[in-house]
Structures are given as structure tokens and as C-alpha cells.
Structure 1
């Protein structure tokens, strides 16, 4: 399909990587969805108001399954040549999505997640011990923000920590928005799936108590879980379990250290849980707003008719700063009480790893404010280099203390 040059190009540039573009605010304040063109695929409707976003995320008239909506893979709108979530739990609709989600919830329980907290805390303290031993300055991405969630998700899934660089490289390629090699993502997906299939095969011969082992037992107990579905579930949990948190930690610190937020947490670490929710609300993590939804029949959103087969992008960062939903939405309020943010999505596709992300983010902030109370950026925020990725985050975060 030939792109329509008359449509505005999305994503819109912002004054700051962690800000919301003026064009997004203007569209949201105007109210009605607008048509935009993305770097790849067909045009899409952009939905920005909080109430409209929630409706798209919950209405049965919208689905994530492109094939069901009659949309070919190359027509899916996005910032990458191929939808990074294709052929995964994130791209399915009920009843297949419901079946797999139920299976995951049977093994990825709140108890299992909470049991990871002390191990996450021990790892966070070891990482800070190394920072203190080596002395400042240090790159907080490489030496804290990345190894913390990677270590936790490896522990959860039973992935050998020695393989961190292997799956980290595949993940970066899969989520990259660099158009240099359009086939690189497909090769990375294949390589990652082959690696994970090997882990699954080993669990079949040598049972384990980790999450992969639990999923293998479900498969072998006749729970209608195929091998491709099992590998896809593990891939989704592996990527979501470290990639988002590894970027949210430095994103949070950029926002906190830009003002008095970090000092407030040093003075009162009990604010950390509410601070995490507020920072989740304010952080525009996904560069394209969300993965696309597709209208399964004609439906009206915000006074605009979306026709069957058309794609919709919901812009979570704009919705999370909607003055119709949040008082003083541009203000970082670490004690905000009413905070129904959409950082983890909403409805049936709400992030399955939300509880794990909260544990990791709370442990990370509590540890830093307790152990490094004088933490400061060693480089001006304007000089940070940001990743070319679906997930927004700085490549490095030089700090001192």
C-alpha cells in the first residue's frame, strides 16, 4: 500500500524523549481521533483521549489479531517492518488469548512473583556494592538497570544467566526501529525461538521448578498447549520481563533527578510505591503509543467512524496526561492518590507481567535512594543518547554520587 503523504507522520517529535509531543496534546485536546501514517504498514487512526483509549482497549469491536481483521502482515502499521508482538499472546484475541492467558496465570501466580522480591533485593544490593567498590562515575544502565531485571527474569524462567548477552542481543534487534536491515528482526525472532525451544526440550527430560518447567508440565498434562505456543509464551515473558523494566529504571531516574523527586524519596522511602505508579503514568515508554488494534466491524470512537479492518493506535502517554482524567496531569506528584493510569494497558491485554514490573521497580528505587542518596546525573539530560527501539530509554545513564 502506498503511504498517503497528506496524512501527518507518526510518531510525532517531542521536545524531550520523555515528554509528550505538542501535536499529541493538540489532538487530544481537540478530542476526535485523527488519521496518521507510520513508517511501515497502512495508515491508522490515532486515539489520544483517556476515555476513548480505555474504550478501544476493552470494546469487543476491536481486536489485536490482524488476520482475523483481514489485514496482511505487511499492512500492519508500526515503527518496525514487522509487528514485534506478532505470533504471541499479545497478538491474539479470545478465545485463544483467554485460553493461553488462563494457562499462564496458573503458573505465573502472585505468590511466585512476590517470592522473587527478596532475591531481587539481594541482587540489587550486590549490584550497588559493585558500584560503590568501583567508584563513580558509572553507567547505571549497564551496571544496574539492565542486570537487575535480567537477573530476576532469568531466575523466574530458569534461563541461564550466562546466556544474558545472547538473548539480550536478539531482543534489541527484534525491537529496533533502525530501518537499516529489514530482515534482521525476522532472523532474531528465529534465533531466539530456537534457543528457547532448546530450553523447553531440556525441561521435558529434566523437570525443574522454574516457570518454563511449570509450563512444560502444563503442556504434558494435556492442557492444549502446543510447542509453538509454549515457546511463544516464554519469548513474550522473557522480553517483557526485562526489556521494559530495564528502560523504565533509567527513564524514572531522568525524571526524578530533573527536579526534587529523588531527594523526596531519599527523605521518605515509604513514598516509593506511589512514586512508581506516578512515574509509570508520566513515562512514555512505547515510542508508537501501543500495538495496533483492528476494527472488527464499523464502530464510532470520539465522534469518528472507524470502518471494519481499519487500524487504531491508542496513545497511552497522551491518555495518561489527559486533564479530563488527572488533576495537574503534567506535574510529577509522588503522593498522587487517584492514579488509574494505563501504563500496563487495560482490558484483556493488560500486561501479564505488571506485578513483576512493580516488584522490580520498587526494589530498584528503594535500593538506590537508600544506598546512593547523593545520586546525580554525570551528563546533562540533553546530552543523553536514546535508543532506536520500540521501547524508549537511554543507551547509557552516566551517574555520580
Structure 2
């Protein structure tokens, strides 16, 4: 798996010009995530500085403040509370919107548009296309505002890059912003709910984490390994540009390889007893965020959001528990990401 993800002889861009297995009737290649160098390198370099570990750590205090305020509101309303609506969605939403420069106050306008990005069959092709077109129009309007009144956020930086020569086109500015907003919003929100659910259904591991809070960073890595985010394998296959020897045989030039990172995260050759959740396990190197040049750009921000949310929940609520039986949970359907639609909790 790591060989394919990190080897330049496997191309993602090639999948955009072939009739490959896909999740929707339309070809839905996305800027950055379906490109090879040098195009991928050029675009990633422009946005990577906003997601460095140092920059993300500078945001941690703000994330902790937002989390305290969200939990205060949850406590004031009283149990039960929907963890998704009360914390898991607004925390990463506020953080990614602030980093990009998208007004979170507009969330009622763009939340459904963002969700359409992750739709497989939840929306019709026509509905999905309409939502994404509306999101693109909205972001194009924000970019036009930045052109008139420059700002120091990521969107402002991308607009400057588009205005200072041919480094970015206007469409690239919109498409990059759309990708970062959608991925940073929906994915992290789903995993905050999924990880809390995993802990509550593994009370021994939950008790261990409560007794040893220093385990939290490593616990998030183990949860990333153990809990798959995607309901499907990678959306696009990689195509071999040359004959490549893998452990299972030879992939000939022009042949595709479909990846399943969640399966690799349960590989017995890498992890002892891989189907067991073990928060003391060294899960560094798990592939939940990918590997190689397409390693998730926002991985550090996602880690920080998740660590902040879990730490606050465990500290604030010693008796945190699910408020409904497992059988009453409704799980997402027709979406690329998995998780409960809502997760009622009590304390």
C-alpha cells in the first residue's frame, strides 16, 4: 500500500482520462487530489503553509476556547444533546472557515452545498451538480471581495497568487477553496462522532484514556487506524506508468490499482491483533490520512480538532454516555464518509 501511495510510477491524473470505476455517474475529478507533479506540486505548495504543524498549534488555544463555549451551550440546554450538531460539526467548521476566510455566519447557506461534495447517492446527479455550482458561485464571490479588499487568510493569499502572474487561475482559486472547505468540514466532523462512539462502546479503553490523558495524541492515531472514515475505497484508482513489482505480483504499465487504506490499517503484518482497539498501541504511520504526495493536507488541523474535542468531552463529562441504544442510531447512507447522522449523548 505504501509503495503505491508513495511511488511516482503510479498516477492519479491518468484516472481522469479513463473510464474508471467511480462513485457517481459523472466524472468527478477534483483539483489537487487527482493531479500528478508538477501541477500537483505547484498547487499544494501554495496552500501547504496554512496547514503546517506550527501554524496549527498557534490555533489550538482558539480551538479550546471554541470547544468550551460549545460545551457550555450544550450543558445549558441540558441532556440529551446531539454530539454532531452541538460540537462535532461546529468546531471543525469554525476552524476551517476561519483559516480559509469563509464567514461561518453563512453556514446555513453553504452547509448543504459542502455536504454535496461527499454525496455518492444521497443526492441525484442533478442535485449534486446544482449544489456544487452554488458553492462555486459563493466562493467566487468571496474571491472577488478579496480582490477588492485583500485579507491575510488563505483565500486572500490564493487570490494574490492568481493576481501576481499565472500561478493560479480564478477557477483554480475556487476549486482549491472548495476542496479544502469540504474536506476540512465534513471529514473531521464525522470522525469526532465516530471516535466518541468507539470510545463509548469500548468502556475499558475509555477508562484507560481517562486515567492516562497523556495517551490522547497516540489514541487519536489508533482511532484513525481502527475507525475507517470512508465508506468506500479510494475514489480513484492509481494507474501504473511502468511495470511495477509489488508483493502480490507485477502490475503492468497501464493497469489500475484500487486502494483500500482501511484494509491496510488492519494488516496483520504491521499490527498485532489488528482488529482490536488498543489505545496504547504505536499506530504512527497509520494510513487514515494517506501517504506520499497526496497525504491529507489538513491532517494536522484534523488531529488538533479531534484531540481538542475528545479532551474537553472527557474532562467535562465524567459520566459521558450514549443517550439511546445502539440499535436506535441512524447511520449515514449514500455518502462517501461514514458515521451516525446524529449521536445523542448524556452526562
**Bin for the TM-score computed over the shorter chain:** over 0.9
Tell me, what secondary structure is at the counterpart of 1:323? coil
**In structure 2, how many angstroms separate the alpha carbons of the residues matched to 1:83 and 1:311?**
17
- Pair 1:376-2:310 in alignment: no
TM-score (norm 2): 0.93
Deviation at 1:350, TM superposition (A): 0.4
**In structure 2, how many angstroms separate the alpha carbons of the residues matched to 1:383 and 1:268?**
31
TM-score (norm 1): 0.81
For structure 1, the residue ranges without an aligned partner over 5 or more in a row are 1-52
Change (3 A) 1:283 1:82: farther
**In structure 2, how many angstroms separate the alpha carbons of the residues matched to 1:303 and 1:327?**
21
Point out 4+ residue stretches in structure 1 off by more than 6 angstroms: none
- Pair 1:145-2:88 in alignment: yes
1:260-299: per-residue Cα shift (whole Å, max 9, x none)? Answer: 2222222222211111111001111111121322233444
| Match among 128, 131, 137 for residue 185 of structure 1 | 128
Confirm or deny: 8 A CA contact 1:141 1:250 kept in the other structure.
yes
Q: Write the mapping of 1:260-271 to structure 2, written as runs, cut at 5 A.
A: 260=203, 261-271=205-215
For these two proteins, the number of residue pairs brought into alignment is 344
Confirm or deny: 8 A CA contact 1:254 1:381 kept in the other structure.
no
Confirm or deny: 8 A CA contact 1:65 1:93 kept in the other structure.
yes
Deviation at 1:305, TM superposition (A): 4.3
Deviation at 1:306, TM superposition (A): 3.7
Tell me, what secondary structure is at the counterpart of 2:195? helix
| Match among 176, 180, 187 for residue 237 of structure 1 | 180
Q: Write the mapping of 1:223-372 to structure 2, written as runs, cut at 5 A.
A: 224-260=167-203, 261-292=205-236, 293-372=238-317
**In structure 2, how many angstroms separate the alpha carbons of the residues matched to 1:278 and 1:321?**
11
Deviation at 1:311, TM superposition (A): 3.2
Tell me, what secondary structure is at the counterpart of 2:342? coil
- Pair 1:57-2:5 in alignment: yes
Which residue of the partner structure matches residue 38 of structure 1?
none
Deviation at 1:210, TM superposition (A): 1.3
Tell me, what secondary structure is at the counterpart of 2:207? helix
Confirm or deny: 8 A CA contact 1:80 1:179 kept in the other structure.
no
Confirm or deny: 8 A CA contact 2:15 2:239 kept in the other structure.
no
| Match among 18, 24, 44 for residue 101 of structure 1 | 44
Tell me, what secondary structure is at the counterpart of 1:387? coil
Whichever structure has more helix as a proportion of its residues is: 2
1:152-174: per-residue Cα shift (whole Å, max 9, x none)? Answer: 11111111112112222012223
- Pair 1:400-2:346 in alignment: yes
Confirm or deny: 8 A CA contact 1:107 1:214 kept in the other structure.
no
**In structure 1, how many angstroms separate the alpha carbons of the residues matched to 2:231 and 2:71?**
30
